[in-house]
Amino acid sequence: MKTDFIHFLLGLWHNAPLVAAFTAIIFAQLSKVPIHFVTHRKWDFHKVIDAGGMPSSHAAGVCALTTALAYVVGVKSPIFATAVVFSAIVLYDAGGIRRHAGEHAVLLNRIALEMSQSGMTVEASATEEGERLKEILGHEPQEVVIGAIIGVLIGAVFGKWW
């Protein structure tokens, strides 16, 4: 039983597309901290677990997975085709729908704050930080593009040499 588990873990470790995807996600998430410092002159280690921001870890992960799969199973494989479609959906979602949801959250938070300041009763008062809607959900297009480039590069490295 113990050897089966070890073989399972070794199998995961030798799965280049899987390792490439997780490496790209971790790299993108960790790189958000120094990028935020350069752009805002403030260290924010919470960026490691935040959604949104530069670069997109969603884009990095799916592009690393897809690129590594191209090397491992070939571009004629149905598995690669599935990954391409999956990647397109994730990229569209990260840069489109989720970003618009974040813009809606900004507007709703502003409305709730203005209502609260004017003395109107608001069920979920925007004056308390814990009750505000999360505003950074998606990505600007350049964040998705940079994440995708990171993912393709990491995927190529792992797909070719892992």
pLDDT band of residue 27 (cuts 50, 70, 90) is very high
Computed over every residue of the chain, the mean pLDDT equals: 85
Q: Which of the pair, 78 or 141, is modelled with greater confidence?
A: 78
Looking at residue 128, what is its pLDDT?
52
Alpha-carbon separation of residue 71 from 15, 20, 87, 91, 152 (angstroms): 12, 12, 16, 21, 11
- How many structural domains are present in the chain? 1
Range of the domain at 79: 2-161
Determine contact, residues 16/143, Cβ cutoff 8 Å.
no
- Give the lowest-confidence range in 16-30, 62-76, 114-128, 140-154: 114-128
Give the model confidence (pLDDT) of 40-94 as tens digits: 898 988 888 887 788 999 999 999 999 999 999 999 999 999 999 999 999 988 8
Q: How confident is the model at residue 130 (pLDDT cuts 50, 70, 90)?
A: very low
H/E element, 151: helix 141-161
> Rounded to two decimals, what is the model's pTM?
0.76
Largest CA distance in the chain: 66
State percent of the chain over pLDDT 90. 57
pLDDT band for position 114 (50/70/90)?
A: confident
Cis before 55 (ω within 30)? yes
- Per-residue pLDDT at 107 exceeds 90: no
